[in-house]
């Protein structure tokens, strides 16, 4: 079971962006929350998506920000509950779950407040009760199998090859033909192809594998048994060998899911502690190799007929 202690978050490693004060996170959060007075097509409404993305990146770029954001979010959720401000609850919850996924260490008190809030949503009408039930189950699973949500998210998003979690994510953008039509389509297609073919800024699959191993070991073992900076350096030094440990970590957590894991962390912690020791030992032995870059698979299609769209979707999901 995870060490839900009072330490701030997953220890930051490498080149991280600066830690953001809670007051700044609060202002960023307020900027993306919906308001009843917001017209749906106003410029301010359109900018909220970019502001939300920026907020998420602050957490992604420096995991130390995730715990601070969690504290701000649960305060806002409890305030929305008291004031019956239901239009804010689901956006806040989605942002909360993103922060939980990025956070390795969560204090008991904070974890309990989040879990109890999601349980209280079960008494609300649809869709609040549905969202509350889903997140209650996810949080409970994460409590007993720390790092599972992060591992599954990265594996599916980045299509990391493995035999234990075969799910992959696809992103579809369905555009209104009255808006994206005529001369705009070639311009959009050209811009899309340039972005898809650019190599700068892409992480390698091995870098994503390293982040999964790093997060899982720190979440499961805690700061006393897992030195974050030392682990990060060891994972960087071993190059291609990190894939072996990624597969081991993935298999260990997914096996816990299959077995309906309800232990107190003994078996899981022991296995992950063994992997941690092996990683540090392999690093001390001086193993290293080159890292190959990869680019995500992207495509741009213009489909105007419903039948063609149905056929294309069937091919994609075959």
Task: Give one DSSP letter per residue of 231-295, joined into a string.
Answer: HHHHHHHTGGGHHHHHHHHHHHHHHHHHTT--S-SHHHHHHHHHHHHHHHHHHHTT---------
Sign for the CA dihedral angle at 240, 241, 245, 247 comes to positive
SS3 (DSSP) at 45? helix
CATH 1.25.40 residue window(s) in the chain:
22-144
Is residue 245 within 8 A of residue 287, CB to CB? The reply is no
CA dist 32 and 25 (Å) reads 11
What's the rounded Cα separation, in Å, for the pair 115 and 132?
9
Asked whether residue 204 carries a pLDDT value surpassing 80, the answer given is yes
Ranges of H-type helices in 103-183: 108-120, 128-144, 148-157
Q: Lowest-confidence range among 26-30, 66-70, 112-116?
A: 26-30
Q: Is the pLDDT of residue 41 over 70?
A: no
Long-range contacts of 260-269 (CB under 8 A, 24+ apart): 261/144, 261/145, 262/144, 263/1, 263/144, 264/1, 265/1, 265/2, 265/220, 268/1, 268/145, 268/220, 269/220, 269/221, 269/225
119 versus 316: the higher-pLDDT residue is 119
Q: What is the DSSP letter of 130?
A: H
Q: Which one has a higher pLDDT value, 17 or 35?
A: 35
Q: Could you report the per-residue pLDDT of 173-182, keeping only the tens digit for each?
A: 666 666 666 6
End-to-end CA distance of the chain: 38
User: CA of 202: how far to CAs of 62, 208, 234, 295, in Å?
Assistant: 18, 10, 22, 6
Band of pLDDT at residue 294, cut at 50, 70 and 90: very low
Q: Supply the CATH classification number for the domain 22-144.
A: 1.25.40
- Three-state secondary-structure class, residue 202: coil
Which of the pair, 147 or 9, is modelled with greater confidence?
147
**Residue length, the chain?**
318
Tell which residue, 88, 77, 108, 76, has the closest CA to residue 34: 88
- Confidence at residue 194, expressed as pLDDT on a 0 to 100 scale: 66
């Amino acid at each position: 079971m995870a060490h839900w202690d009072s330490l701030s978050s997953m220890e930051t490693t490498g080149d991280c962006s600066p830690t953001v004060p809670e007051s700044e996170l609060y202002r960023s959060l307020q900027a993306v929350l919906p308001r009843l007075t917001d017209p749906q097509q106003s410029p301010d409404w359109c900018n909220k998506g970019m502001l939300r993305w920026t907020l998420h990146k602050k957490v992604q770029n420096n995991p130390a920000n995730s715990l601070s954001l969690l504290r701000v979010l649960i305060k806002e959720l409890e305030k929305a509950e008291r004031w019956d401000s239901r239009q804010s609850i689901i956006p806040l919850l989605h942002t909360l779950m993103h922060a939980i996924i990025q956070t390795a260490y969560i204090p008991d008190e904070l974890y309990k407040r989040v879990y109890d809030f999601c349980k209280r949503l079960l008494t609300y009408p649809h869709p609040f009760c549905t969202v509350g039930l889903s997140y209650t189950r996810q949080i409970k699973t994460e409590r007993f199998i720390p790092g599972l949500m992060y591992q599954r998210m990265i594996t599916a998003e980045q299509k990391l090859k493995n035999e234990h979690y075969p799910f992959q994510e696809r992103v579809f953008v369905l555009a209104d033909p009255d808006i994206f039509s005529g001369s705009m389509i070639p311009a959009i297609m050209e811009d899309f192809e340039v972005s898809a073919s650019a190599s700068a800024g892409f992480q390698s699959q091995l870098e994503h594998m390293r982040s999964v191993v790093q997060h899982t070991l720190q979440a499961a073992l805690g700061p006393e048994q897992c030195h974050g900076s030392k682990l990060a350096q060891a994972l960087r030094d071993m190059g291609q060998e990190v894939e072996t440990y990624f597969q081991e970590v993935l298999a260990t957590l997914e096996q816990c899911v299959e077995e309906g894991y309800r232990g107190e962390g003994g078996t899981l912690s022991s296995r992950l502690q063994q992997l941690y020791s092996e990683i540090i030992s392999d690093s001390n032995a001086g193993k290293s190799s080159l890292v190959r870059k990869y680019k995500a698979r992207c495509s741009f299609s213009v489909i105007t007929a419903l039948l063609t769209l149905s056929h294309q979707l069937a091919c994609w999901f075959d």
